[in-house]
Structure formats: C-alpha cells, structure tokens
C-alpha cells in the first residue's frame, strides 16, 4: 500500500532524482522540464497521477451543471449505448442511446431552458402576468425573498426614515451572512498558520492580518496581544475557541465597504445617480414624451391614470433591463470578490440573530438578489410613496404605505392566483413564481413521458408494427424482407450495417453469453 | 386604487401577521385588498413550502431539487411504458421492466446518495494519519448528537447527515482568502511563507478533488458498465430458459409462462420440464 500510495500521490511522481542529473554537464543545456524543475521558483504543477486527476476534476467541478452533464454523459450515455449497440444490436443500441441522451437533456437542462424561455416571454414586457413590469432577470428565489422581506420589515420598524431603513436592511443582511464552512475554514487556516511556525515573524504577521480581516482594523488591535500569547504558548485549541465567535462573518469594516456597492457608490461611475435612479429616469422620459403620450391616452380605453401607470412601468422596465444587461455582471463580480477577500466563502447561510433564514446559498447569488430586492422592490415602493403622498410627514404613516406598496394582496376570485395591479410588488412577484416554478417542472415531466413512449414507438415502426423488447433479440421477419439494422433510420428499406462494422467485434466479450435466436444463431 | 387609511393598513397587517381573522364586518363593508403578511418566511402552507423547495435558485438554471423530482418521474414513465410494451408484446415478458427498475433506481440512488457516501469514505480513509488535513476536510456534525428521538438517532447514524465535508469550491475560496491575507502582510508569491501555505491548501484541494473523481469513476464503472453486464446476463438467461421450456421458437410467440418470466422467482427444474429428475447418487462409490 505504501508503495502504491507514493507512486500515485508521491511528491516526485516516480521521476528520477533530479540532483544527480543536474550535476552532470551533459544535461546542462537540456530543455527537459524535469531537469530545470528544482531551480524554478514555483512548485511544479503536476506531481503525479493524483495531482493530474485532481486538476482535471477541479476543472469539471467548478460548475455544478457541467459536473452533472459530465457525470451523466460519460457515466451513463456513452458506456450504456456503446454496450447495447455492440452486444444487443442496432435496435437496443438506438433505444438506449436516445433514452439516456434524453435523460441527460431532459433531467438536467430542460427545466432550466423552459424557465428561461418563460422569463423571456413574460418578464421582458408589461403584460397581464407581469403588471408591475418587474424584469424577469431580476430573479429572487422564494427562500431569499422571504428572508429579505423579514429583514426589511425589521429595518422599517427600527428606523426613522426610508433612507435609514434601507441602510439598516443592508446592514442586517450583510451582518447576518456567514460562511457555510466556518468550522472547516478555521481549521485549515490554523493548520496553515502552524506550518509557518518555524518562521516566527511571518507567523505573527499572518496572525495579525487574520485578526484584521476578522475583527476590522480598530478592534483587531485590542485583541492582538491575547492571541499572540495564545499562539506563543502553542495553544491552537484556545485560539480556535476564541476566534470561532467571529470567524466566517463580515467585520463591521467589511460590512461598511460592501454596503457601498448597494448604496450605488461603487463600482466606478455606474451607479452614482442615486437610489431612485430608475424611477427618476423613467419619469424624466415620460415628461419629455408628454404630448405624444396624451394623444395616445385619449385614444386608448384605459383611464388617464391607469395609462400613465402602465407607461411608467414600461419605461422603468426597459431601463432596468438595459441596466441588468450591461452592468449586472460587473457589479456581481466586484461585490462577490469583495465579499470573498473579506472572509465569506462560496456558500453562505443567512441568520437573523439565532434564527436561520437561508441555508447553503451561493454567496454570489445572495448578493445579486439582494441588489434586485433593493432596486426592484424597496426603492420602487419608497419612491412611489414619496411621489404619491408628498404631504405626509409622519414616518409611521409612510411606513404603512410602503408596506402596502410591497405586500398588499388582492384575493377576490381569480385574482387570488394571478398577479394584478392591486397586488403589492412582492405579492405579485410571489404569485408569478407559481407558474415560473411549476410550468417548467411539469413540462419536463411531460416531455420525459412523451419521449419514452416515442422511443419505443420508433422500434415498433421500424419493424412493421411488431411490438417487442429489443433487449431480448429481434424477432425473425416473415417473408423475405431484409431487416434494417441502421440505428438511426426508420423503415424497412434502409441498408444493413456492413459486416465489417466495428460494433460486430465488440460483442465478443469473453465469457459472456451470446444472444441467440430460436434457431441457435447468434443475433448480432 | 382603493384609498386606505394607514391606521387600518397597519391593523389589518398586524392581524394577518399574527393569524387573527379580521371581522367579517370590515370585509363586507368594502372590498379591501388584504395583506399577504410575511409571504415567504413565516408561511407554512403546503403550497408555499413546496414552492420554496422546488423554486429556481437562479433564473434559468435547474436546481438539484428540481432534477430529483424530474428524474424520479422519468423513471416512473419508463416503468409505465415498459409495462405497456409488456402487455402488448406477444412474449409478455417482464425483462424490460426488471432491467429498467434495476438500472434506473440504482442510478438514482447512486447519483444522489452513493457518490456523497463514497466521498466521505474516501476522505475518512485518506486523512486518517494526518490530523492537519483531517479536521479541514471531514468533521462530525455537532447537531447530529441527539439520541433521544428516533429522528435524532437516524440523523446521527446516517453518514450523509452526521458527517460534513466542504465542497471543492469552498476549499478553493479558503485558499484564496489565506493567500490574500498573506499578500496583505507584504508577502510575495515567491516567499517561503507564501509557498508553504499554498502547498498546504493544494494538498487539501487534491484530496477533495480526488474524492469527486472517485465518485465519477465509480459511477462510470458501476452504473455505466457493471449494471449492463448484470442486466444483459439476467435477460439472456431468462430468454434461454423460456426457449428451453417451450421447445418452440421465441417469435412469433405463443402464450408464454408468466411464472417463468418473473425475474424474482427463478423456476425449479420441474417447472421447466415436468419429467426432470435429479440424478440419484449410487450408494457405493464406483471402483476405479
């Protein structure tokens, strides 16, 4: 076992010892990377079979969908259809290939595609299913929506103005985030700190920086002394216990830095225009087109107020969509990286005090959806209230109106299920989610059924209406018509597979029973 | 829009939040838009819970929960279609249903449960002599220690819930954070402390990726290739047995023996050939 392990995972990967060869002048100018390996400043990339496999798997593993597709494609589709084709013949080969290939597409991808199509159809315009004109790409999952709602209500109750409520909300979310792997991350960091043990100044410096990230600059100075004493005594357990309370969360400094992104002060000049930028821009545009809009309104069947609302929603939607298309990627990337280097790893939980609101969410998704919640719901509701009731000064009343804009629910008759203008923004979004979730799933399930039957029908059609399971062998045909053995063509006229086909020879696995028909002949 | 005084808005909102029914009088006097309260988090209706479970986490990207239900129903469709074909085919054979049930249910179980189990087993084995790596790669779940209820016991003995492992992405992020912190202290990527740390995290990554690779490899070996040998063999045996029993050509087939083609109860020799007798051992051994 030891030898195997060193061969598979060993540090030099079975290469000859380099010192001996480097000493020889014959090899001095050789470009062989093995010889120059020791002189290189970086450790070598590939140190053996283990490392090679690891790097390939790492590339696959970086994306969840790619991982599923690869494990399905290489694991199921290829080997199964090759074996079926070679051992059981064309009919079962084709059936297996189509079945497994549909399994790959239908199970893993189809629901996503269907969902995307629905969002493109319904989320890019103001229509009866999207009355408020919330862009489909500003997606917020139901779980996150619930959590954000809860935290925003808390922020509303604990503040004295909508700007403060917004700030508090951002602070609650950022303060409630914690890495999903805090325990692992703290262990690995302390182990790597231990490895620096021989070089004392480096270790102390690393510890200092670690505290700075965890506590923030000011607070870290207070704690530094205690931690250094613990480290000096070699008390890693004590260090860990003390760190655990704060590890894997954003410090106050970091929260402030990250909050800048959501107050539209970063990155660069993209979002400097203020928090109500969509609403203000849309109103500006409407004011410019006022004359033509008045004409249109007089011709339409809607009341002037309703027409104005619809025109505003349309204008705002197109502004948000263009922002999403152009700046979303850059924003998410920047904010995500900021969160990463400030101590949040890829998967995060969201807590409100002790209560766990969301579990195992992607950090990137969480930040992106928080931005959507602020832009499409909070800012919009606030702006509408400010616009419609400029005379109200009392924050309690305003607060109630903002909540009404967000959560009002019309539940008379058919309106219970379908979003409409009477609904608040959040309620309408939650109602529309019903279709966005169940239609793609239902479609995928129905497609799976239809395709399974169609796959069997193909075999039947090819054999003139005979119904049979091709895994048991193909029934002999009455009369003299030749069998069609080509895997992908339908109908009895197609030519047979040539006898030189490689698939014929793959069938001869040693010790494996050959498929025979009733007369004792081998079925190809 | 119907105008509503803020006080009433607050009152109705509070009422629905705390689950208090509003009086019918108010509702009948005026058709007011009601409030959904806290739609997401406090709601416990079945529809809401299902929605939260199966919702898209990101727009247009299937989630694992969705894939689970779609895959399960796909398997169900395959069984139904196989059964339809069995009823319509002359041989009335159960071979396809057995094949599908074996192959697909094992595939489902392995995809969603087997691979994580294998990964845990590999990490347990690979890091058993190295405490520095071990605690960073596999840990006992602190919540899974409740032995007072059946649910707690099940949680504690199930390795999928009682043992935690980080994802590859998380390990990658841990490395990036550690190296970023070192860079902040002024270390360059050629310094010794930088290389030491990088090497440690690369070791972690290697084990985590090998665990994933092992899952992939065993999927190919067991479900891509192994299950085929089993299925082909069982079906072939079954067809051979049926041909022997009937002494007739398989196709076009006459009424088959349903008992014989039941995969779960292999027939006795007497069932196949009523005149069959086991050979009798002679009382005295034959003299060479």
pLDDT tens track for A215-235? 888 888 888 888 888 888 878
Q: What is the mean pLDDT of residues A306-334?
A: 87
* pLDDT recorded at residue A145: 92
Chain B's closest residue to A475, CA to CA, is B251
Q: What is the DSSP string of A241-298?
A: HHHTTTTTB--HHHHHHHHHHHTT--STTTTTT-TTHHHHHHHHHHHHTHHHHHHHHH
- The interface residues of chain B toward chain A in range 209-238, judged by CB-CB distance below 8 A, are 209-210, 212-213, 215-216, 219-220, 223-225, 228-229, 231-233, 235-237
Does the pLDDT value for residue A483 go beyond 60?
no
Chain B neighbors of A178, CB-CB under 8 A = none
Q: Over the stretch B69-114, which tens digit does the pLDDT of each residue have?
A: 999 999 999 999 999 898 888 878 889 999 999 999 998 998 888 8
* pLDDT recorded at residue A452: 94
Beta-carbon contacts of residue B182 (< 8 Å; ≥ 6 apart): A206, A209, B193, B194, B197
A452 to B81: CB separation less than 8 angstroms, yes or no:
yes
A68 to B67: CB separation less than 8 angstroms, yes or no:
yes
In a mutagenesis test of the A interface, which of B4, B30, B59, B112 is the best target, namely the one with the most A β-carbons within 10 Å? B59
Q: What is the mean pLDDT of residues A305-328?
A: 87
Displacement of CA A467 from its chain's centroid (Å):
44
Q: What is the mean pLDDT of residues A97-121?
A: 92
For B167, which of A213, A346, A407 is closest by C-beta distance?
Answer: A346
The DSSP code for B225 is I
Chain B's closest residue to A117, CA to CA, is B60
Does the pLDDT value for residue A434 go beyond 70?
yes
Residues facing B201 on adjacent strands: none
Cis peptide before B159 (omega within 30 of 0): no
* pLDDT recorded at residue A178: 92
* pLDDT recorded at residue A402: 92
Could you tell me what percent of chain B has a pLDDT over 90?
A: 24
**Structure-model confidence comparison of residues A105 and A9, the more confident one:** A105
CB pairs under 8 A between A and B: 388
Does the pLDDT value for residue A31 go beyond 50?
no
Displacement of CA A36 from its chain's centroid (Å):
42
CA distance A254 to A214: 9
For A408, which of B35, B40, B55 is closest by C-beta distance?
Answer: B35
Q: What is the mean pLDDT of residues A463-468?
A: 83
Chain A neighbors of B215, CB-CB under 8 A = 71
Residue A245, burial from CB neighbour count under 10 angstroms (0-12, 13-18, 19+): exposed
Chain B neighbors of A224, CB-CB under 8 A = none
**Are the beta carbons of B111 and B125 closer than 8 angstroms?**
no
* Neighbouring C-beta atoms of residue A21, cutoff 10 Å: 16
**Structure-model confidence comparison of residues A65 and A257, the more confident one:** A257
A139 to B239: CB separation less than 8 angstroms, yes or no:
no
Does the pLDDT value for residue A45 go beyond 60?
no
CA distance A181 to B167: 9
A513 to B233: CB separation less than 8 angstroms, yes or no:
yes
A111 to B67: CB separation less than 8 angstroms, yes or no:
yes
* A62 confidence band (pLDDT: 50, 70, 90): low
Q: A247: closest CA among A193, A203, A182, A188?
A: A182
Q: Residue holding tokens 């109500």?
A: A276
| Distances, alpha carbon A519 to alpha carbons A186, A504, B235, in Å | 70, 20, 18
| Distances, alpha carbon A208 to alpha carbons A188, A198, A296, A441, B179, in Å | 17, 17, 66, 51, 14
Closest CA–CA distance from residue B214 to any residue of chain A (Å): 10
Q: What is the mean pLDDT of residues B223-244?
A: 86
A408 to B95: CB separation less than 8 angstroms, yes or no:
no
Does the pLDDT value for residue A36 go beyond 50?
no
Q: A126: closest CA among A309, A375, A257, A275?
A: A309
Could you tell me what percent of chain A has a pLDDT over 70?
A: 78
CA distance A384 to A390: 10
Tell whether B199 lies on the interface with A, counting CB pairs under 8 A: yes
Chain A neighbors of B123, CB-CB under 8 A = none
Closest CA–CA distance from residue B282 to any residue of chain A (Å): 34
Closest CA–CA distance from residue B29 to any residue of chain A (Å): 14
Orientation of helix A363-372 relative to helix A304-341, angle to 10°: 150
* pLDDT recorded at residue B288: 62
Q: A96: closest CA among B103, B112, B69, B237?
A: B103
Q: What is the mean pLDDT of residues A14-32?
A: 38
Whole-number average pLDDT of chain A:
79
Closest CA–CA distance from residue B150 to any residue of chain A (Å): 23
For A357, which of B41, B70, B228 is closest by C-beta distance?
Answer: B41
Q: What is the mean pLDDT of residues B172-177?
A: 91
| Distances, alpha carbon A278 to alpha carbons A65, A318, A333, A389, in Å | 34, 9, 22, 19
* pLDDT recorded at residue A299: 82
**Are the beta carbons of A462 and A491 closer than 8 angstroms?**
yes
Q: What is the SS3 assignment for A355? A: strand
Does the pLDDT value for residue A508 go beyond 70?
no
Does the pLDDT value for residue A63 go beyond 80?
no
| Exposure on the CB side of residue A30, measured as CA atoms within 13 A | 15
Q: What is the SS3 assignment for B58? A: strand
**Structure-model confidence comparison of residues A491 and B244, the more confident one:** B244
* pLDDT recorded at residue A185: 92
Does the pLDDT value for residue A265 go beyond 80?
no
Does the pLDDT value for residue B32 go beyond 70?
no
- Among A274-278, A356-360, A361-365, the minimum mean pLDDT is found in A274-278
- The interface residues of chain B toward chain A in range 112-131, judged by CB-CB distance below 8 A, are none
Q: What is the mean pLDDT of residues A470-493?
A: 55
Largest Cα–Cα distance of chain B, in whole Å?
112
* B266 confidence band (pLDDT: 50, 70, 90): low
Backbone angles phi, psi at A17, to 5 degrees: -65, 130
- Among A64-78, A126-140, A457-471, the minimum mean pLDDT is found in A64-78
**Structure-model confidence comparison of residues A277 and A322, the more confident one:** A322
Q: What is the mean pLDDT of residues A392-414?
A: 87
* A198 confidence band (pLDDT: 50, 70, 90): low
For A116, which of B60, B93, B187 is closest by C-beta distance?
Answer: B60
Q: CA-based angle A465:A468:A469, to the nearest 5?
A: 140
Q: What is the DSSP string of A87-106?
A: II-HHHHHHHHHHHHHIIII
For B178, which of A107, A192, A397 is closest by C-beta distance?
Answer: A192
* B23 confidence band (pLDDT: 50, 70, 90): very low
* B56 confidence band (pLDDT: 50, 70, 90): very high
Q: What is the mean pLDDT of residues B57-75?
A: 91
Q: What is the mean pLDDT of residues A491-504?
A: 39
- Among A476-485, B43-52, B161-170, the minimum mean pLDDT is found in A476-485
**Are the beta carbons of A342 and A254 closer than 8 angstroms?**
yes
Chain B neighbors of A444, CB-CB under 8 A = 66, 70
Does the pLDDT value for residue B248 go beyond 70?
no
Does the pLDDT value for residue B34 go beyond 80?
no
Q: What is the SS3 assignment for A408? A: strand
CA distance B56 to B61: 7
Residues facing B181 on adjacent strands: none
- Among A233-247, A422-436, B26-40, B62-76, the minimum mean pLDDT is found in B26-40
A400 to B139: CB separation less than 8 angstroms, yes or no:
no
- Among A180-194, A418-432, B252-266, the minimum mean pLDDT is found in B252-266
Q: What is the mean pLDDT of residues A320-333?
A: 87
Orientation of helix B168-184 relative to helix B192-218, angle to 10°: 170
CA distance A161 to A398: 9
Closest CA–CA distance from residue A130 to any residue of chain B (Å): 16
* pLDDT recorded at residue A476: 64
Tell whether B109 lies on the interface with A, counting CB pairs under 8 A: no
B184 to A51: CB separation less than 8 angstroms, yes or no:
no
* A506 confidence band (pLDDT: 50, 70, 90): very low
* pLDDT recorded at residue B82: 93
Whole-number average pLDDT of chain B:
77
Chain A's closest residue to B212, CA to CA, is A57
* pLDDT recorded at residue B263: 57
ipTM above 0.85, yes or no: no
**Are the beta carbons of B15 and B27 closer than 8 angstroms?**
no
B73 to A448: CB separation less than 8 angstroms, yes or no:
yes
Q: What is the mean pLDDT of residues B41-58?
A: 79
* A56 confidence band (pLDDT: 50, 70, 90): confident
B61 to A513: CB separation less than 8 angstroms, yes or no:
no
For A202, which of B136, B193, B220 is closest by C-beta distance?
Answer: B193
Closest CA–CA distance from residue A243 to any residue of chain B (Å): 15
CA distance A384 to A389: 8
| Exposure on the CB side of residue A271, measured as CA atoms within 13 A | 21
For B9, which of A362, A404, A518 is closest by C-beta distance?
Answer: A404
Q: Which range has highest mean pLDDT (A37-46, A286-295, B230-239)?
A: B230-239
A153 to B57: CB separation less than 8 angstroms, yes or no:
no
Orientation of helix A110-123 relative to helix A425-462, angle to 10°: 130
* pLDDT recorded at residue B64: 87
Closest CA–CA distance from residue B188 to any residue of chain A (Å): 12
* pLDDT recorded at residue A346: 87
Chain B's closest residue to A85, CA to CA, is B228
CA distance A202 to A213: 17
Q: A157: closest CA among A352, A408, A425, A400?
A: A400
* B262 confidence band (pLDDT: 50, 70, 90): low
């Amino acid at each position: 076992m030891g030898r195997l392990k060193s061969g598979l995972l060993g540090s030099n990967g079975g290469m000859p010892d380099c010192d001996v060869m480097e000493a020889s002048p014959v090899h001095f100018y050789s470009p062989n990377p093995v010889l120059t390996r020791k002189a290189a400043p970086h450790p070598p990339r590939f140190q053996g079979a283990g490392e090679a496999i690891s790097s390939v798997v790492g590339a696959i593993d970086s994306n969840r969908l790619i991982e599923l597709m690869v494990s399905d494609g290489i694991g199921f589709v290829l080997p199964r259809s090759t074996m079926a084709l070679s051992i059981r013949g064309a009919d079962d080969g084709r059936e297996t290939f189509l079945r497994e290939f549909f399994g790959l597409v239908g199970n893993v991808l189809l629901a996503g595609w269907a969902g995307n199509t629905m969002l493109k159809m319904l989320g890019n315009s103001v229509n009866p299913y999207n009355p408020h004109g919330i862009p489909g790409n500003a997606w917020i999952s139901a779980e996150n929506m619930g959590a954000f709602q809860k935290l925003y209500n808390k922020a509303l109750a604990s503040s004295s103005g909508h700007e403060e409520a917004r700030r508090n909300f951002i602070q609650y979310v950022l303060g409630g985030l914690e890495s999903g792997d805090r325990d692992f991350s703290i262990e690995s960091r302390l182990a790597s700190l231990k490895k620096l043990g021989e070089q004392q100044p480096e270790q102390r410096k690393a510890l200092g920086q670690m505290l700075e990230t965890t506590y923030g600059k000011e607070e870290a100075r207070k704690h530094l002394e205690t931690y250094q004493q613990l480290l000096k005594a070699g008390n890693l357990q004590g260090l860990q216990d003390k760190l655990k309370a704060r590890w894997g969360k954003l410090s106050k400094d970091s929260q402030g830095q990250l909050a800048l992104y959501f107050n539209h002060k970063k990155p660069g000049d993209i979002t400097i225009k203020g928090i109500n930028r969509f609403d203000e821009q849309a109103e500006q545009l409407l004011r410019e087109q006022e004359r033509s809009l008045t004409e249109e309104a007089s011709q339409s069947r809607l009341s002037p107020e309703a027409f104005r609302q619809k025109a505003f929603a349309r204008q705002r939607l197109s502004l948000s969509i263009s922002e999403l298309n152009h700046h979303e990627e850059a924003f998410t990337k920047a904010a995500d990286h900021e969160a990463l280097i400030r101590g949040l790893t890829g998967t995060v939980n969201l807590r409100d005090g002790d209560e766990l609101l969301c579990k195992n969410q992607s950090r990137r998704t969480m930040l992106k959806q928080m931005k959507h919640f602020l832009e499409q719901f909070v800012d919009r509701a606030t702006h509408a209230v400010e616009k419609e009731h400029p005379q109200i000064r009392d924050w309690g009343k305003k607060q109630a109106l903002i909540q009404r804009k967000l959560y009002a629910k019309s539940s008379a008759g058919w309106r219970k299920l379908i979003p409409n203008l009477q609904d608040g923004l959040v309620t309408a979004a939650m109602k529309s989610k019903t279709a966005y979730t169940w239609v793609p799933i239902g479609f995928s399930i129905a497609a799976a059924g239809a395709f399974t039957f169609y796959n069997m029908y193909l075999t039947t059609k090819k054999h003139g209406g005979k119904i049979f399971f091709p895994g048991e062998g193909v029934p002999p045909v009455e009369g003299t018509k030749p069998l069609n053995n080509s895997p992908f063509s339908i109908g009895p006229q197609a030519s047979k597979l040539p006898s030189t086909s490689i698939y014929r020879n793959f069938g001869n696995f040693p010790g494996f029973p050959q498929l025979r028909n009733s007369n004792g002949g081998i079925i190809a | 829009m119907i105008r509503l005084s803020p006080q009433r808005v607050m009152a109705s909102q509070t009422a629905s939040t705390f689950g208090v029914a509003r009086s019918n009088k108010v509702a009948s006097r005026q058709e007011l838009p009601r409030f959904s309260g806290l739609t997401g988090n406090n709601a416990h209706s079945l529809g809401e819970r299902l929605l939260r479970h199966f919702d898209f986490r990101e727009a247009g990207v299937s989630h694992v929960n969705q894939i689970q239900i779609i895959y399960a129903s796909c398997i169900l469709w395959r069984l139904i279609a196989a059964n339809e074909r069995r009823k319509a085919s002359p041989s009335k054979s159960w071979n396809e249903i057995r094949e599908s049930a074996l192959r697909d249910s094992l595939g489902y179980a392995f995809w969603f449960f087997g691979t994580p189990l294998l990964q845990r087993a590999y990490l347990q084995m690979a890091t058993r002599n190295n405490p520095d790596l071990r605690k960073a790669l596999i840990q006992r779940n602190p919540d899974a220690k409740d032995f007072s209820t059946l649910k707690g016991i099940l949680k504690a003995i199930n390795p999928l819930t009682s043992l935690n492992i980080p994802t590859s992405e998380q390990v990658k992020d841990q490395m990036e954070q550690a190296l970023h912190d070192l860079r902040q202290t002024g270390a360059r990527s050629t310094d010794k402390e930088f290389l030491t740390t990088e090497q440690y995290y690369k070791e972690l990554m290697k084990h985590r990726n090998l665990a994933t690779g092992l899952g992939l490899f065993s999927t190919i070996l067991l479900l891509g290739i192994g299950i085929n040998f089993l299925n082909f063999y069982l079906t072939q045996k079954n067809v051979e047995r049926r041909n022997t029993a009937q002494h007739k050509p398989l196709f076009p087939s006459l009424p088959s023996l349903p008992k014989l083609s039941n995969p779960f109860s292999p027939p006795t020799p007497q069932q196949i050939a009523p005149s069959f007798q086991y050979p009798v051992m002679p009382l005295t051994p034959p003299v060479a």
